[in-house]
Structure 1
Amino acid sequence: MSSLGSLAGHRIVPVIVIDDAAQAADLARALAAGGILCAEVTFRTPAAADAIRAMAEVAGFTVGAGSVVRPDQLEAAHDAGASFIVSPGFDREIVDLTRERGMGSLPGIATATEALVAMRAGIDTVKFFPADKLGGLGTIRALAAPLQGLGFVPSGGVTALDAPTYLADAAVPAVSGSWMATRSMIASGDFATIERVSTESVQAIGRV
């Protein structure tokens, strides 16, 4: 069984920074209308837990917590209804707690050593972060060659233009980014644009 849990199968994972949890349900509906049925709500704002709770109540939508760096954040996410956890780096305590809570786990790595440690911990898919600063797809291909069976989800600087290129590689099961739902789009309530860009993104990767 994949360490991603309910996140497995989703090819685009929006990275959400939201300041007002009252907008969360409408955001989830806009993403879903565009064909994106999941999101990672980052613990970068005080609204994160309440936003996760609201999005988790939208039928058919999978929501997780991102930027999780402490156990208390994981517990808050779990209590709010998050089904997966994303971290910027690999932390064994976070991974173990995530597994104990029955949640999917996507820890971040930047080196072959970190990837090996993650594999030893039973992780089959990692977040490659920050992808744009680490060489992007070229580095992923170099790491994937000796690390057979490990999937890489690039995050950090991923755009609508390069997402299809990433996803064309067998080592990349999904991409993570914020281009379809930026913090400013969400703050201004521009859900029509979020739906439109999500639709365009899903159509673009569908051609891969």
Structure 2
Amino acid sequence: MAKLTVAGIPVADIVRLGPVIPVLAFDSAEQGENVSRALHAGGVKVLEITLRTEAGLEAIERAAQIAPDIVVGVGTITRPEQCALAKKAGAQFGVSPGLTKEMHAAAVEAGLPLLPGVMTPTDIITALELGYEIVKFFPAQPAGGVPMLQAFHGPFPALKFCPTGGITPESASTFLALPNVVCVGGSWLTPKAAVASQNWAEITRLARAASELSRPVR
């Protein structure tokens, strides 16, 4: 299988910077900057800031300037043209809930390393044909969770996953223990109540706990 190469930090390196990639959606760019700073203070080096709100692109731009060791990705890419917009805003990688050939081509053209979403064996085969070695399993828990990833390991032994969707602090370690999981995505690091009350210390505490989750060396 050919290794997919685009400009920037390879996805294979990004997913190994920490066991948990927080999945984030912000009401404002200012809120995004504050949350991103709190997460970074807790040891989280990789962020996925989604385009689920209008503040997404500006939040990415601000977060990318917080520290030299922070890696900011754009999440919920659903249209090819979003790849170039996110790259211009400062995103260093992209995450999508699914994958099309058009989206793949747009990511390559924009120089945006992509972590594409898969849910079925057909999705996986498409991703493999396009050269991907690491994919997002989404929505992880509703789509079968740990048993499904265990089942995928047989026919796709070389493929690595970042499961996202429905993962909790209690279940994260179970996912991380699987031989084909390199990290997990989760939203539990930023509880709505903590964000609303601007309790940045609580977010830093949760980030520190997530950063200390163990995973086998692979």
TM-score tier (shorter): over 0.9
Contact persistence 2:140–2:166 (CA under 8 A): yes
Q: CA deviation at 1:6?
A: 5.3
1:107-161 Cα offsets, whole Å, 9 max, x none, are: 1111011101101100111111111111101101101211121111111101111
Contact persistence 1:181–1:194 (CA under 8 A): yes
Secondary structure, counterpart of 1:131 in structure 2: coil
Q: 1:192 to 1:84 in 2, by over 3 A?
A: same
Moved more, 44-53 or 5-14: 5-14
Matched, 1:104 2:113: yes
Contact persistence 2:25–2:52 (CA under 8 A): yes
What is the alpha-carbon distance in structure 2 between the residues aligned to residue 207 and residue 91 of structure 1? 32
Matched, 1:57 2:60: no
What is the alpha-carbon distance in structure 1 between the residues aligned to residue 52 and residue 26 of structure 2? 8
- For residue 9 of structure 1, the aligned residue among 5, 9, 16 is 16
| Aligned-partner residue type, residue 97 of structure 1 | A
Q: CA deviation at 1:18?
A: 0.5
Moved more, 2-11 or 169-178: 2-11
Unaligned runs of 5+ residues in structure 1 are none
Question: TM-score, normalising length from structure 2?
Answer: 0.89
Name 2:31's counterpart in structure 1.
23
Q: How does 1:86-125 map to 2 (within 5 A)?
A: 86-125=95-134
What is the alpha-carbon distance in structure 2 between the residues aligned to residue 187 and residue 20 of structure 1? 12
Alignment coverage as a number of residue pairs? 208
Unaligned runs of 5+ residues in structure 2 are 5-9
| Aligned-partner residue type, residue 65 of structure 2 | E
Secondary structure, counterpart of 2:141 in structure 1: helix
What is the alpha-carbon distance in structure 1 between the residues aligned to residue 90 and residue 207 of structure 2? 24
| Aligned-partner residue type, residue 51 of structure 2 | F
What is the alpha-carbon distance in structure 2 between the residues aligned to residue 54 and residue 139 of structure 1? 37
Name 2:47's counterpart in structure 1.
39
| Aligned-partner residue type, residue 27 of structure 2 | D
Identity among equivalent pairs (%) = 37
What is the alpha-carbon distance in structure 1 between the residues aligned to residue 162 and residue 26 of structure 2? 22
Contact persistence 2:12–2:134 (CA under 8 A): no
Name 2:142's counterpart in structure 1.
133
Q: CA deviation at 1:187?
A: 3.7
Secondary structure, counterpart of 2:114 in structure 1: strand
Q: CA deviation at 1:102?
A: 2.2
Q: 1:77 to 1:166 in 2, by over 3 A?
A: same
Q: 1:170 to 1:128 in 2, by over 3 A?
A: same
Q: How does 1:176-195 map to 2 (within 5 A)?
A: 176-195=185-204
What is the alpha-carbon distance in structure 1 between the residues aligned to residue 156 and residue 148 of structure 2? 12
What is the alpha-carbon distance in structure 1 between the residues aligned to residue 120 and residue 104 of structure 2? 18
| Aligned-partner residue type, residue 130 of structure 1 | P
What is the alpha-carbon distance in structure 2 between the residues aligned to residue 84 and residue 34 of structure 1? 21
What is the alpha-carbon distance in structure 2 between the residues aligned to residue 173 and residue 108 of structure 1? 15
1:92-115 Cα offsets, whole Å, 9 max, x none, are: 211222122222211111101110
Q: 1:56 to 1:81 in 2, by over 3 A?
A: same
